[in-house]
Amino acid sequence: MRAISLAFHDVADGPPQTVSAAVYAIDRETFEAHLCAIEKERRFVSAMRQRAQWDMDRPIFLTFDDGRFGNYESAAPALEQHRWHGHFFITTDWIGNPGYMNSGQIQELHNRGHVIGSHSSSHPERMSALSEDKLLREWRDSCAALSSIIGQPIRVASVAGGYYSRKVAKAAAQAGVEVLFTSEPTCEASLVDGCLVLGRYSIQRHTAPDVCGRIAAGQIVERWRQTSLWKAKKILKLLAGDTYITLRRRFFSRRLMGQRAIR
């Protein structure tokens, strides 16, 4: 099985207010341009509610991490204009916090046909470094909290922070997750203890809509660029450990200050 999954985060207008937003937040107009670029390629945009097989042309899955309010206010309505549904992965410890969706908004997205999934409880910086017990607690607590909101078991999830390992997938499978999205840019799928593991191509603030469209179309050059960068970062993460996170945070903090200065 092969699929192309695109990883978005927040859709919000105005200057970025956080380090994460400086990297990942997309304004509404640009987000609509991304969707139009995908639609232009005439590819099949689908929603994965549980583990499945597909015989159709390689499907496209649109995912949104963290549970930011902009995904409820802007991203979901834009998807619906195209008659599409998205996968909204929620960090449950952040539900109801300023800038994040509350329980009622999560329930409404579910009622409108979107997929609600787990993005862990606390969004640990290095999920793959957690013990098996802590990993299982992250998945189980998050899935239980979301299940109590939408009234259905949670079967889909995404890895927080991009730190994936088989141990992360095994814990997710033990918690009842049937489909797990990682941040590794690949269209290949694999199975870990019955859990379908899918990669994703990251769409960031600087990603041009036409690039997004070419990735959705499966063009190998754009996909290869992300894959090459990911492999280099993966080696650096392994060698640097926690130092990588510290240096990354400093780099993007400076980027945030630069973007604010420009505005």
**Across 46-50, 60-64, 93-97, 146-150, least confident range:** 46-50
Average pLDDT of the segment spanning 26-31: 96
Domain with 113 in it: what CATH number?
Answer: 3.20.20.370
pLDDT at residue 240 is higher than 60: yes
Q: Rounded to whole angstroms, how far apart are CA atoms 254 and 243?
A: 17
The secondary structure element, H or E, covering residue 98 is none
Counting the structural domains of the chain, the total is: 1
Structure confidence by residue, pLDDT tens digits, 184-219: 999 999 999 999 999 999 999 999 999 999 999 989
Q: Would you place residue 31 in the very low, low, confident or very high pLDDT band (cuts 50, 70, 90)? A: very high
pLDDT of res. 48:
87
Average pLDDT of the segment spanning 47-65: 84
248 or 127, greater pLDDT? 127
pLDDT of res. 10:
93
pLDDT at residue 29 is higher than 90: yes
Query: Which residue pairs, CB below 8 angstroms and at least 24 apart, start in 187-190?
Result: 187/2, 187/3, 187/4, 187/5, 187/58, 187/218, 187/223, 188/2, 189/1, 189/2, 189/3
pLDDT of res. 101:
98
For the chain, percent of residues with pLDDT exceeding 70? 87
Range of the domain at 201: 4-262
SS3 87: strand
